[in-house]
Each structure stands twice: as structure tokens, then as C-alpha cells.
Structure 1
């Protein structure tokens, strides 16, 4: 099944900063996509799918002979924050509790003082109503961030991003 996915095989420096939906594939995601067709579609449809985990990298190497370099979500985060720090850009964190988002904003202010940081804490629930999702979309669009980080856990975040990315 791994051969069905077009995993990114390059370096972070090759990523064009234009709008795109970037997702990651790790062992948990791989196991989940077998049971969740919409999640599988969300991953396949992303503009860029990063191999986030040694297990995925090794499975590809052993099963189909493809050699990829692991790119963790944390690596992408640091790369994008450095990029928008150099341009005095804006980022938006969608998901998590208000307490956690406050900690993120405090740390980002110290490590990336030239980045404007915004956030939104949606309600904790398995699925959002259309109205709740629209409030999230509106909050993001009002800010027009250079980068949007979604932290709602897999597969919820990927499915939400896939559905609302065009907006």
C-alpha cells in the first residue's frame, strides 16, 4: 500500500513557499489509513506528503526499494518558522487548549521574535459542526498567515485540512 503514496523525496529547502497542503505519514497514520478511507484520500490528495518516521522510510526501502530521507513534522516546523522569521511573517496555530497555545506563543516570541503568532482553540470533540469549522476558517482567513500549523491529532487534522483547505 505504501507504493500508492507519492512521498516527498527531497530537502526542506526545495519546498516552494506558495500555498500548499503539507501532511506527514508516520506509523500511526499508516495503520489508521487502512481503516479510514477519507483519511487515506486526504493524505493522497495533499500537495506534499512527508515521510515522518524511520519506520516509514525503512518500510519503503525494504518493500519497494525506494530510498527516502525522513522529514519529521518537527523539522518542517523549525524550517518554516525560520523562513517566516527571516521575512517577518505570520503564523497561525489551530488546535490544542488555550493553555498550550499560550505556551506556544510565549516560546515562539522568544525563539522567533520577528514572527507574529496567532492561534485558535477549537472545542474538544471528535468532529466539528459546520458552524465550528467555519469559525476556524474565518479566524485563519482574517489573519492571512504565511503558515498554518494544525494540531488536532491524526487523522482529525488531516481530514479537516483536506476538507477546508480550498477556503
Structure 2
């Protein structure tokens, strides 16, 4: 399996690939979290929450505004894998 793609934006490594690139049968995926403008704002005030987001194995986009920040700041688009999409994808797998 190829190495999944990530985009660094606002000091976070955000997953930017097809959800099938996440292997659930290995130790590489123990945690999947989502990042949104709200969670980013909370992470600025809560160091424990920030550490949890940074230590997650796969941090996926949840909301268009964080993707917009990546596009504006880095010139890179993030594949949209929103929270509900992630949930249903892995429930089906």
C-alpha cells in the first residue's frame, strides 16, 4: 500500500488522501480525529487537546474553512473527508 498523503497547515499534519489509504489492520492506525475551525480554536486554548490532535495517527478535515486556510496559506487543497464520511466509511469496512 502506498504511503498516505498529508498536508501541513497551521502546524497540523492533515490527511489528504482517499480513506481506503488508511490501513485498519496495522498498528499505523490507532486514532482518527477531525480538525475544523472550532477544534483549531479550542486547541489554541487547551494544550491537552492540542497534543491529542497532534498525536493522532490520522487527522482528517472536517469543514471547508480549514481546507480554505490550506489553499490560501500553502496553495494546497485538502481532500475532503468530513467527519460523517469518515464514520460511515469505516463502519462499512
The structure whose residues are more often strand, as a share, is: 2
Pairwise same-fold verdict (TM > 0.5): yes
Q: Distance in 2 between matches of 1:7 and 1:63?
A: 14
- Does the 8 A contact of 1:8 with 1:50 survive in 2? yes
Q: Does 1:59 align with 2:72?
A: no
* Cα deviation, residue 3, structure 1: 3.4
Q: Which runs of 5+ in 1 are unaligned?
A: 84-167
Q: Does 1:35 align with 2:42?
A: no
Q: Does 1:71 align with 2:81?
A: yes
The residue correspondences of 1:113-152 to structure 2 (distance < 5 A) are none
Q: TM-score, normalised by structure 2?
A: 0.82
Q: Which runs of 5+ in 2 are unaligned?
A: 1-8
Q: Distance in 1 between matches of 2:64 and 2:53?
A: 18
RMSD value, Cα: 1.5
How many residue pairs match? The answer is 83
* Cα deviation, residue 27, structure 1: 1.3
- Does the 8 A contact of 2:61 with 2:83 survive in 1? no
Q: Does 1:3 align with 2:10?
A: yes
Segments of 4+ moved more than 3 angstroms: none
Q: TM-score, normalised by structure 1?
A: 0.47
Q: Distance in 1 between matches of 2:12 and 2:76?
A: 12
Instruction: Give 3-state SS (helix, strand or coil) of 2:53's partner.
Output: helix
Q: Which residue of 2 aligns with 1:49?
A: 59
- Does the 8 A contact of 2:61 with 2:82 survive in 1? yes
- Does the 8 A contact of 1:6 with 1:44 survive in 2? yes
Q: Which residue of 2 aligns with 1:16?
A: 23
